[in-house]
């Protein structure tokens, strides 16, 4: 009878130890997946910003035209792609290569652009871009007037991330270069 209690106690102790180890492994795996998703998201966001910043500042400058008065840029309410670009680039863009690379020609074409990027290990990441005018002195505040500065915000989400990753940069029109 005493041996039976010892065996039962040993089995209970083994079960509790196994549960603790399984819990530790699950937490470690979750943390590793979150870290890998975050690293991928940073890379995806930076790649998106790099793509956007290879484009002309505005439709008014896309042909190499110099603009000295910011009021000649696209109106804030009209930021985004034109009808031709919209019909050529699906939303979300899931093509390979992405259609935005070939059909968008200026920074604000990416306003409200959506892309789904699938990685071999982590699967799909969703990317959403916003582009707004800002001032040189306060790039955190959206303006309702044209300026020589456009803030680009790239938001990346993934199932293994607790919250979206946001990466921001400012595109600057250098009128004298």
DSSP one-letter code for 70:
G
Average pLDDT over residues 2-25: 69
The pair of structure tokens assigned to 38 is 């975050």
pLDDT for 26: 56
Q: Is the pLDDT of residue 86 over 80?
A: yes
pLDDT single digits (tens) 22-44: 666 555 666 677 888 899 999 99
pLDDT for 16: 63
pLDDT for 46: 97
pLDDT for 63: 85
Return the HEC string of 108-158: HHHCCCEEEEEECCCEEEEEEEEEEECCCCCCCCCECCCCCEEEEEEEEEC
pLDDT for 32: 75
pLDDT single digits (tens) 142-158: 999 999 999 999 999 99
Average of per-residue pLDDT values in the chain: 89
The larger pLDDT score, comparing residue 143 to residue 12, is at: 143
156 Cβ neighbours under 8 A, 6+ residues apart: 41, 44, 45, 125, 126, 127, 164, 165, 166, 167
The pair of structure tokens assigned to 34 is 């979150």
Reported as a pLDDT band with limits 50, 70 and 90, residue 117 is very high
pLDDT > 90 fraction of the chain, expressed in percent and rounded? 70
């Amino acid at each position: 009878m005493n041996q039976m209690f010892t065996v039962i106690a040993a089995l209970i102790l083994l079960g509790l130890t196994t549960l603790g180890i399984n819990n530790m492994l699950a937490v470690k795996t979750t943390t590793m997946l979150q870290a890998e998703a975050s690293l991928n998201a940073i890379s995806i966001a930076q790649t998106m910003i790099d793509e956007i910043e290879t484009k002309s500042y505005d439709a008014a400058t896309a042909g190499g035209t110099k603009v000295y008065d910011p009021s000649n840029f696209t109106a804030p309410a009209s930021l985004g792609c034109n009808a031709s670009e919209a019909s050529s680039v699906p939303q979300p863009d899931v093509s390979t290569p992405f259609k935005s690379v070939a059909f968008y020609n200026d920074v604000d074409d990416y306003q409200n652009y959506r892309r789904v990027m699938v990685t071999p290990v982590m699967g799909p990441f969703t990317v959403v871009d916003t582009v707004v005018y800002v001032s040189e002195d306060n790039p955190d505040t959206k303006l309702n007037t044209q300026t020589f500065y456009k803030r680009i915000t790239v938001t990346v989400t993934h199932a293994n991330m607790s919250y979206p990753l946001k990466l921001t940069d400012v595109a600057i029109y250098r009128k004298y270069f």
